Structure 1
Amino acid sequence: MQTFNRTFERPAKEWNEKFANIATPIIGDVMGRQNIMDFRIRPIWSGARCVGPALTVMTYPSDNLMIHLGVSLAQEGDILVVDAGNYPNAGLWGEILTINAMYRNIGGLIIDGGVRDIKEIEELGFPMFASGINARGGYKSNPGRVNMPVSCGGVAVCPGDLIVADENGVAVIPKADIAEVYEKCLAKISAEQKIMEQLRQGKDTVEIMNMEKELDKLGILVK
């Protein structure tokens, strides 16, 4: 018999608001270009964005039993993060699960696997990020796990890590690092605003970012 925790420690909800307008490229840069999911995990409809704590699910390829359990256990604002083995030939999430999730105020879905009912879900406005689309439905007969560490899009995700997903991709902020990453994001945004202003004044990135030193190290000479 498998046993899973019904709940886990979530970060304070204020972090959802603080990261609401911070783009994932900024977050990835300040985390050393780490913890960004593979390019395969993409928004299924244009404009999708979500921020919230990860509720993790691992399911067997072509089976969504554990996904249904995850929705049942989720709290308001949770983001379901599903390791479905990057199996592209089954749509493990569709309109029925979406309506179920929305009535439970779940914040979004990140799945390393297939989904379906794309038009209906876009019309509902539910944020959904996946590695594939397929009309074939999934089974409901195999075990998996919920609220335990998983790998999704090449990134380790633990329950309670903060997920930020937008048109650029999906960032995973470890729960213990949220405050530090936020402060670094603010500093990065400020620095980039200064660079933009210098560009408007006629300077270029080679000059502003002092790339001459790197070119010299590489033995590159421009005559």
Structure 2
Amino acid sequence: MDGIDTEAADTAAPAGTAAATPGAPATGTDGSGAAQPAAGGTPAPLTVQDVRFDLLRNAHYHGDRLGFFERSHRLVMFITVLAGTAAVGSAFAESGVPTLIIGLVVAFFSTLDLVCDLSGAARLHEKIRQRCFDLMAELEECAAGDTAACQRISASLVKIYGEEPHTMAAVEALAWNSALAAVTNPGELDHDDLQTVTTWQWLTRHIWRYAGHTFTTPRERAEIARRKRL
């Protein structure tokens, strides 16, 4: 179970590729991660920068999910073990709390961990993140203009997408921002190129999928508003 949603394979397309210059889509892309036709109708070749961005974005995404499931599993185990001890049971009994309530608490959290498989979800995200770093290591060995290697590594990443559980859009947006910051030269990052995530969306990013919400940057929203005024 991924957050509230079942851990079924229903992955979203890549959130986008990075640009050498913040605010502009990466070479050969429209910001969706797909190569766009060049002047002659042939898709522009992927660059090392494009693939590096996608790998970083995916690694950040699964790192965030991994941390969430690990923390959740430990918290549930702590509550279950603590509530099941004789000392805690005696303390609650002396304070007037029925023993049945304590039993229900233990049963609830034990069932929650079993049904949601929090530790299993953590292992899945850890495995996918490690595969992203393995591909990144291969990418670093490629020459700057080795388009064939970029295509091969990108194809391997697409296979990983097919193994991923439901995409949590707010986590994806934050991962996009982290990846963009990582590939942008120091001092050149423009915050108008970062996708906006509200405080509430940040707090609930591992619970609600925000599947119908499109996360945009301030620059994109300004451009949409400009076009509407025309």
Report if TM-score (shorter chain) is over 0.5. no
- Higher helix proportion (structure 1 or 2): 2
Please state which structure has a larger fraction of its residues in strand: 1
